[in-house]
Amino acid sequence: MLHGGEGSVGSVAVASDDQPLFERVDGVEFFVRLVDRFYAGVMTDEVLAPLYPPDDVEGARARLTWFLVQYWGGPATYSDHRGHPRLRMRHAPFAVGEAERVAWMRHMGAAVAAMEEEGAIGPDDRDRLLAYFDTAARHMVNVAG
C-alpha cells in the first residue's frame, strides 16, 4: 500500500478514520468499469490515442486499474508487480503537454460522471476522484506549450 500526505500523487489522501473508497464501491470491479469507460474515450481521441503503443493498450489499462485500486485502498497488486509508481518517471518518454492533460481530464471526467450517474459513487467521492485526477494530470505535464 502506498502512503503519503494530502495532495500527494502516489498516496491515499483519505483521513485514517474514513472508509477507503475501495471499500465503499464494489472494489476492483468499480475501477475496471471506470478505466474501461476512460479508455473508450482515449482510444478514439486524436490527441491521446497516438501516445499509447498499440501493442500495450491492454497493459496500460491493467496498470491504471491496479494503480487506482491500490491508491484508493485496495490490494497492493500494482506495487507487487511494478514497485513504486514513479508516475512522472514512467510517463517521461511521452510528450505530455497542456493539450494532453486537458484531453486526459475530459475523458477521465466523463468516466467519473458515468460512474456517478449509475449510482456507483456520490458527489463527495466524485469530487475526491476529480481532485486527485486533476492533481495527477497536472503532475504528468512534461513539455511546455
**Stronger pLDDT, 40 or 17, i.e. the higher one:** 40
pLDDT at 76 over 90: yes
Q: Does domain 21-140 match CATH 1.20.1250.20?
A: no
Query: Exposed, middle or buried by CB within 10 Å (0-12, 13-18, 19+), for 14?
Result: middle
Q: Where are the domains of the chain?
A: 21-140
Mean pLDDT of 56-70: 94
* pLDDT tens, residue by residue, 86-143: 776 676 677 889 999 999 999 999 999 999 999 999 999 999 999 999 999 999 999 9
Percentage with pLDDT > 90 across the chain: 69
- For residue 6, pLDDT over 70 is answered with no
